[in-house]
Structure 1
Amino acid sequence: MDFQLTEDQRALRGGVRELLEGRFDVRAALDAGSSLDRGLWKELGDAGFFSLMLPEAEGGVGLGLPEAVLAFEEAGRVLLPGPLVGTFLAAGALQGAASGEAVVTCPFGALVPWLDEADAVLGGGMEGAVPFRSLDPLTPLHRLPGGGGLAHLSRPAGRLPKTGAGPVDGDLADLLVAAEQLGSAGKTLEMAVQYARERTQFGQAIGGFQAVKHLCAQMLVRVEVARGAVYAAAVTGDVLEIAGAKLLADEAAVHNARDCLQVHGGMGFTWEADVHLHLKRAWVRAGLGRSAAQAEEELAAAL
């Protein structure tokens, strides 16, 4: 079995990365506060980001879960803000979602991201939602009384549909969030390695010190383990593998951001460094969808 990306998948990943790096700047987004860049949202729609899994007969790209995961990984890498998951899930259900003309959010348990900016909410039921202070300055949140959120569907075959999932599918949402976490974990690894090569102390690059080498090596292991889990879940669509992927991706994103902060030292704590933005976003994403405790219980029950 060939586990390497195909040429088309590499081209897709490269195209999404090129679009985001050329169009999105996280610092400009911070200056804009909680205002969503509607122009960029429309560009994502025009590029097929939200319609990746829609059949071509319905105006979509006609690809599958593995390709969607690659796209969301790139979005996580640059900390792209906005209700990406909600709009993606709504692409086949709500007019304007696939094209990026509509911004659609969805509840994750008791939390709803970007509610004020959304044109629609999957599942409705936003009565009583109140603003909730978010750790991440680029992820405004509301809290729902009594929870709710996307359902983790019980499927006899234990697999996601090949052509996508319904607009209330929490399993697909978890996989896409896991892909974003994977992208963030990979980016903080790159940031730590680059800083370790450039920062000098006692006449040599700090990357030559054993303690720093160990931190970077641990970060690499987390990324590769999480990547294997996320990619495997995208190929199989198995809901238990999705639970494992979410668990490992959350861990990789949070711990890699913390280790990247450690490599940067005092510099990493400053507002000017992007390290804290990855850590805050990783913490918030870990609170969306399946929690670590829920994933652990599901996997333990299956064993």
Structure 2
Amino acid sequence: MRFQLTEDQKALKAGVRGLLARRFDRDALRAAVERPGLDRALWRELGAAGFFALRLPEVDGGVGLGPPEAVLAFEEAGRALLPGPLVATHLAAGRVPGAAEGETVVAAVDGGGLVEWSAEADVVLGDVSAAVPLRSVDPLTPLHRTRTQGSTDPVAVLLTAAEQLGTATRACELAVQHARTREQFGQPIGAFQAVKHLCAELLVRVEVARAAVYAAAVTADPADIAAARLLADEAAVRGARDCLQVYGGMGFTWEADVHLLLKRAWVRTRRAGGGTESEELLAEGLLAGAGR
């Protein structure tokens, strides 16, 4: 079966990319790194564009779309490394006043006992009375740990996979761009076989993850979502590492953006639904299918 985006879905994806290119370009990303904090004006603009209300029914003031469209929007957010508790606020639309419009920033305790952006959120879903601040590896994602663990929402797992897919896509783009423009021994480094292989592997992981994430958004099957999350986590983390290899020593410098991709990907792997949790869910589904 072939999954192709409709014209409306392509327009949605392009619209979100255009909004983020205008409001959160590289200069804004670097400024956020130097001066961490949530851009409330951008948050409200996302709300006005329907980012948080994509899956909310029209009768409740939402856009009335489904998980496939939400995945496309979150993929673009992941590509831009957009900071903030995007998934929690999106899931709170229709339940927490102002979340759908971007007037209220919502954070939530995930299944791993982690909460992102709790200090700047207006509402935190879950008990954070004993939350302990953590030193986050990602300068754009402040973290707290709490003893209370939230539930693992399949939609949250899927949207995290979509963000990871977007970050993996950006790592692939940066690697290819650098391989084409950086020269050694009088020719672009992309002409060397070792670099070609790295870029090819980057692309393969991205496209495999994309197929899995898009399919899981259509089927909404827990096993499909688990598989998509595992593939997307791998594509994001390994993709950023391979991108660092293409960049060489330059990629490890603070001035380059590659390390930010890797750090964000690492943080997302710690969210609920990643790693062992998805592996066990996927194994359970495979074993159940084998027994039929």
TM-score by length of 2: 0.95
Name the counterpart of 1:243: 226
Give the match for residue 263 of structure 2.
Answer: 280
Aligned residue in 1 for 2:289: none
- State how many pairs are aligned: 282
Unmatched segments (≥5 aa) in structure 1: 153-169
Does residue 205 in structure 1 map to residue 188 in structure 2? yes
Kindly, what percent of the aligned residue pairs are identical? 67
C-alpha contact (below 8 Å) 2:209/2:235 kept by paired residues = yes
DSSP 3-state at the match of 2:248: helix
**What CA distance in whole angstroms lies between the structure 1 residues aligned with 2:167 and 2:14?**
16
After TM superposition, list the pairs within 5 Å mapping 1:30-69 onto structure 2.
Answer: 30-33=33-36, 35-69=37-71
* Structure 2 partner of 1:23: 23
- Partner SS for 1:216: helix
Distance 2:264 2:243 in 1: 14
Q: Secondary structure at the match of 2:133?
A: strand
Letter in 2 for 1:58: D
Q: Which of the residues 92, 104, 114 maps onto 1:111? A: 114
Does 1:174 find its partner at 2:157?
yes
SS in 1 for 2:168: helix
Deviations 1:5-30 (A, max 9, x none): 00000000000000001001211211
Equivalent position of 1:195 in the other structure: 178
Residue 291 of structure 1 and its aligned partner are, at CA, apart by: 2.6
Shift of 1:125: 1.1
The one-letter amino acid paired with 1:228 is: A
Q: Which consecutive residues of structure 2, in runs of 5 or more, have no partner in the other structure?
A: 287-292
Structure 1 position 2, deviation (Å): 4.6
The question of 1:120 aligning with 2:127 is answered: no
Q: 1:10 is matched with which residue? A: 10
> Which residue of 1 is the match for residue 166 of structure 2?
183
1: CA distance between counterparts of 2:205 and 2:6? 24
Whole-angstrom distance in 2 between the partners of 1:284 and 1:6: 32
Question: Any idea what SS the aligned residue of 1:79 has?
Answer: coil
Cα distance between partner residues in 2 of 1:284 and 1:106: 15
Instruction: Name the residue aligned to 2:72.
Output: 70
**Matching residue's letter, 1:31:** E
For residue 209 of structure 2, what is the aligned residue in structure 1? 226
Deviations 1:55-110, CA, capped at 9 Å, x for gaps: 11111001010000000000000100000011000001010000000000111221
**Runs of 4+ with deviation above 3 angstroms:** none
Q: Distance in 2 between matches of 1:227 and 1:75?
A: 15
Alignment-mate amino acid for residue 283 of structure 2: A
SS in 2 for 1:121: strand
When the two chains are superposed, the root-mean-square deviation of aligned CA atoms in Å is 0.9
* Distance across 2 between alignment mates of 1:57 and 1:302: 36
Amino acid at match of 2:18: E
Match of 1:148 in 2: 149
CA–CA separation in structure 2 for the residues paired with 1:184 and 1:207 = 21
Pairwise CA distance, 1:277: 0.1
